[in-house]
Structure 1
Amino acid sequence: MIAIPVETDNGTPMSTKLFGNAKFFALVEPKSKDYTIIPNEGCGNGIQTANYLLEQGASSALYGFLGDGPFHVMVRGGMNVYWLGKETMPLDQAIDTALSETLVHVTTENASLYLDPGTAAGACECGCSHD
């Protein structure tokens, strides 16, 4: 299951830039492209969001802006993490992009190139040690 942060749970959902502050996530079944939109119970805290998505059974996550803390939680939990880019897009386009296998797979080896928490200071504000 692929987790994609989205701005709304109705109308035409759009991907959203911020991972931990996303109000909702679309959980996408890759084979059918069917999705369910769920509220982000960790909203406002990237680490809680990452743990919540793991609890929901997500095996992959897409993001625009993401800090070190949530990234490491997801990777340690066995999730694959992909950089969607910093622009929003309709959910259907984000799903097609994810399934096209053209996204950057962010790993611990290349994370410094692709992680950006999107905060004004440019630094992670999750409060963890990132160990």
Structure 2
Amino acid sequence: MIAIPLKTNTLESAIAPLFGKAKWFALIDNNRQVTFWHNELQSGREVVKYLKANNVERIVFQDIGGNPYLMLHNAGITCYHGGHGRILLKEALTFLEQNALIRVTPENMAEYVEKPHKHNKEEHKELHHCGHHHHEHSHGHRHAASHR
């Protein structure tokens, strides 16, 4: 089974940029049959638990946190970076079948995965980020974090 986070529950959907907050996931079986799962969990860690329980073996993502990535890796789920920009579900599946996607491993994860956080949400607001990682904000573009 393959899992891909999506913006909508259609075959024409683009990959959702944020793994844990994706509203939908395409679950593709070995016969290329697609079912859509509505993600109401809103937590990367909880999503990983769901995917593992549903026998997902491979996942394609654009942006994922360090902790969910390590959980996927430790669960034996193979991870692939889907690339940057707008990528459609059909394109991601074609790229995966053609072995054209980058397999993310602990050795190269620094290039494709956000660093794990060691502070909670309240501390996060006070710290103004640590200057070494990026965050996606609701207005659709990325900012380099900086100390203030």
Tell me which interval the TM-score lies in, with the shorter structure as reference length. Answer: 0.7 to 0.9
- Equivalent residue number for residue 2 of structure 1: 2
- What residue is the counterpart of 1:85 in the other structure? 83
Q: TM-score, normalised by structure 2?
A: 0.74
Matched residue, 2:74: 76
Q: In the alignment, which residue of structure 1 is the partner of 2:101?
A: 103
Contact 2:15 2:86 (C-alpha < 8 Å) held by counterparts: yes
Structure 1: which 4+ aligned runs deviate by more than 6 Å?
none
Instruction: Give the unaligned 5+ runs of structure 2.
Output: 116-133, 137-142
Match status 1:19 vs 2:19: yes
Displacement of 1:29 in angstroms is: 2.0
List runs of 5+ in structure 1 lacking aligned partners.
Answer: 124-131
Matched pairs, number:
121
Alignment of structure 1 residues 25-104 onto 2, 5 Å: 25-30=25-30, 32-43=31-42, 45-104=43-102
Larger Rg computed on CA atoms:
2
Taking CA–CA contacts closer than 8 Å with sequence separation of 6 or more, which of the two structures ends up with the larger relative contact order?
Answer: 1
Report the RMSD for the aligned CA atoms in angstroms. 2.0
Q: Structure 1 vs Structure 2: percent identity of aligned residues?
A: 28
Whole-angstrom CA distance in 1 between matches of 2:39 and 2:144: 23
